Every structure is written in C-alpha cells, then in structure tokens.
Amino acid sequence: MSETMTELSLTLSERHTADFEMIGNGGFAPLTGFQGSADWERVCAEMRTADGDYWPIPITLATELECEVGDVVALSSDEGKQLGRIKVEEIWERDAKSEAERVYGTTDEAHPGVAAIYEEGNRCIAGPIEVDALPDHEEAFMRRYKTAAEHKADFEARGWKKIVAFQTRNPIHRAHEYLTKAALETCDGLFIHPLIGKTKAGDIPADVRMRCYEVLMENYYPNDRVVLGVKPAKMHYAGPREAVLHAIVRRNYGATHFIVGRDHAGAGDYYGTYDAQKIFDEIDIDELGIEPLMFEHTFWCNECEGLASNKTCPHDQDARLFLSGTKVREMLGNGERPPHEFSRDEVADILIDAYKED
C-alpha cells in the first residue's frame, strides 16, 4: 500500500458486496473492477464493454462517499468484513432511468432490478479493485464454494470436456430435473450452480435450497457426473440480458454449455416467455465462448405418463399438470405435499419443514 494513500473507507451494500466478490473470484472476468462511464454507456447501448467484450449489465459502484480521482478507498462487506480496496479512476454520474429503459426494458419502479438502481442513486466511482479477502457465507455454502479457477481445475481433473451449467434460484422440481438430465445426455458433466446472493422478497431462503439440491444429488443423479457449486451473485431480474450474464459467468467457471429455459431471470410480466432465448440470436456464440441450450416449458403429462414439453407431447392441456409457484407455496404453507409428479417427496419434505419454521 502506498504511503500517499488517503484513509478513506466504504462499507458496501449487500448488492455491491456481491459484485465485489464476483469480480474478485473470477466470475465476472474480464472485469477487474467497478465500471466507469465509457463501459456503462457501451454496455447499456450494445451489451459490450468499452474494450469490446460481451457484457450485458453494468457493474457499477454507486456511492455518495466524498473522494477524489487517485484516492484509494478501503472496502468492507455489508457485514463489516475488510475485503480490499478500490483505486478511484473516475467519479461520474449515471442516468439510472436511461439504464433502466435500456437494460431492463422498463422504467417501472415496481420492477425489483429497476427499484434497486433507483435506490442506489446516480453518483458512481469507478476503478480496479485489490482483493484481500472474499465475503463470508454460511457453512452450508462454504462447503460447496470454489472460485472460477478452482471449478475449471476440478472439471479438467475429472476429464470433462463438455460441461453443461444450470442456473437456478429455486429448488429443483421434476421439470428442472428432467431438462438437466436431458442436457447431461449429451455432455460429460452437469454443473448445478445456484445463486446464493441477494434475491427478491418471497424467494425461498438459500440454505433451504441447498438442502434440496443435495438430497436430489444423493438420490437421483450419478455422483460422478454432477457437481454442485454456489454462485455468490445478486439477481438483477433483467430477463434476456441477465441470461447472457449468467452464460458469461458459467463460461468463466469452466462450463461449455448453459441451459436457458422459460422466463429466465425474469420478474412479473416484464419479459416474454422465451425472450431470454431469443436474445442469443443477436450474439456471436463463438465469440461468447459458451453455447446456450434452449428448453421449452416442461410439464408432467398423464397420457405420456412422464415429463414432456410441447416439442415432445401431442396431448391437450387437460392431460398436463401445471402448478404455479404461488399454488405450490400455498400448499407448502399448509403443510401439504405437492403432487409427486411435480416435486420429489424428499424435496417437498424439506420445504414443508422450512415453511413450518417460518
């Protein structure tokens, strides 16, 4: 540390703590720090950094901290842990409303991602970070925690050439199990990579989800073909653009393929059902460095006597079992197990117990 360094410090918000960690653990490569105005403008307009790399959502550090260009600011997590520092290369004003319109497709404050950037404000500082430590997490997560480089090394040690990654922020129900296994049929390994960072109100707690993933792995997946990790990032709920971000992150972690399903990273009715798949039509997949695998909505069909989609099932709606997330949460809250065709009994038991504790 330089003798001329000013003694400035900043406690990051929960959301900014997650961004610091994803930059620091290699998940947000090629980013080496919080983005400035040139990156922000090109990311909003073209989904690329100022250097030309694909990047769909600005990663900025909004703060009212009084500082000057050239200052070095010590950074701590939202829980007070010392993480490292940022060298301030730019102090600038973003246009949060313009970012909302171009990145999220709406300026509606009811959108959770839009509300978050409005709340943060427009004044930002930008610059590279130095990492001394990463934020702490619960033991349930730390048992599965690896950096991007560590997961890459693990896949290489396993001899896997084709690795398909699955993004989730919810417990895996039967339909998700079906599509991950369908993807695994053509790949060497499956990388279940749930998000454990900031989500929106009403989402199932991350520690509960981890227990659900683990019981599925123990009972329904071959233990030498699946890896469970954790992604300590926040959700933006940016729909199509966030699907691209999720793909880039999984590429950084060593995946070669990435599952994109219906309503990926969406919120409410802000995006079309398959908008997150259509956005990849605008992208050079070779340049992106990871191949998206598109799946339609999957359901249980009583006539097929199994899981299927519109691509594989010829039967009408009466034969198909659909349950909304609201209906499932209502059943769990009443201590009722969702139908076996929707959820594995072991997963339902964990969720019922969790709802009882609430």
Q: Answer for the pair 275, 89: CB distance below 8 angstroms, yes or no.
A: no
Three-state DSSP state, 292:
strand
Cα–Cα distance measured from residue 146 to residue 349, given in angstroms and rounded to the nearest whole number: 29
Structural element, H or E, at residue 8: strand 8-11
Q: Is 106 helix (H, G, I), strand (E, B) or coil?
A: coil
Asked if 73 and 82 count as a contact pair (C-beta separation under 8 A), the reply is no
Candidates 102, 170, 329, 337; catalytic one: 170
Exposure pattern of 336-351 as b/e (b: 16+ CB <10 Å)? eebeebbbbeebbebb
219 catalytic, yes or no?
A: no
- What does the block give as tokens for 310? 């519109």
Q: Is the peptide bond before 30 cis (omega within 30 degrees of 0)?
A: yes
Nearest CA-CA partner of 164 in 194, 182, 191, 146: 191
- Torsion angle defined by CA atoms of residues 124, 71, 76 and 204, in that order, rounded to the nearest 10 degrees: 20
- Reading phi first (left if > 0) and then psi (alpha if -120 to 50, else beta), residue 127 is in left
Catalytic residue among 48, 169, 225, 329: 169
169 flagged as catalytic: yes
Token output for 290: 């990871």
CB-based contacts of 144, cutoff 8 Å, min separation 6: 210, 228, 229, 230
d(CA 282, CA 273): 17
Q: Is 252 left (phi over 0), alpha (psi -120 to 50) or beta?
A: alpha
Nearest to 263 by CA among 287, 280, 238, 286: 238
Active site residue ranges: 169-170
